[in-house]
Amino acid sequence: MRPVTCLQACRPSVPLGIVTLCLMARWTFQAQGEVSLHVPQPNVNTTVEQNILLSVAYTCEGTPIIKWKHTSPRGTTEIAEWKPGSYTNISISYEGRVNVYENGSLQLLKVDLRDSGYYLVTVRDKSGFTIYGTILLNVYEILYEDLHFVAVFFAFLTAVSAILICFMWLCNKSIHLLQERQQLKASTTEETELQMMDVS
């Protein structure tokens, strides 16, 4: 008799459980419709000492809470958390190195090699639903050997240009001297002919 009693006791709670499940599913789908996140550039490449904008855009009913984290082989570091128009918390290690924007974007100032890695942004709405986005940042070092090669090549081009200019100047001078000699020779010939005509 005990199993039948148990079944009878459980029957009224089954519809209540189904209703609860349906309400939770509806709440989840509504929450998903209330917030969305767009990452236009998921991969960013740059060199050291540059200012980089990690651009995102969200849509949300109400004002969300935005949070950024940096993940690299050295571990995960919290960068900033803010609620647009309400508060902004920037971690001590990033103070003076970041700017935050109302659309959820984050700007890193004067990046270095340690800033390479994945940047995780989360947008949480008032109901607690959270959506995620990631951006991979690659920071490269400017190789001074390459700059040295460029400087040497530029110096070589400058020297070749100077030699060509000197050569053209010498050619122009030579042509000018030849023209003067021809004019002098022609005038001398004319004078000689005139003298011979006067003698005769």
CB contact at 8 A, 137 and 117: yes
- Between 26 and 36, name the one with better pLDDT: 36
Looking at CATH, the fold of the domain delimited by 35-142 is given as Immunoglobulin-like (2.60.40)
pLDDT single digits (tens) 55-103 = 999 999 889 999 999 999 989 999 999 999 899 999 999 999 999 999 9
pLDDT single digits (tens) 141-166 = 987 656 667 777 888 888 888 898 98
Nearest one of 58, 60, 55, 63 to 86, comparing CA atoms? 63
Residue with tokens 């400087």: 151
- Between 107 and 1, name the one with better pLDDT: 107
Those residues with Cβ within 8 angstroms of residue 168's Cβ, 6 or more apart along the chain or in another chain: none
**Sequence ranges of the domains in the chain:** 35-142, 143-200
Residue 40 above 90 pLDDT? yes
Task: Give pTM, 2 decimals.
Answer: 0.57
Q: Tokens at residue 111, please?
A: 């990046």
Q: How far apart, in whole angstroms, are the C-alpha atoms of residue 20 and residue 168?
A: 92
- How would residue 30 be classed by pLDDT, with cut points 50, 70 and 90? very low
- How would residue 183 be classed by pLDDT, with cut points 50, 70 and 90? confident
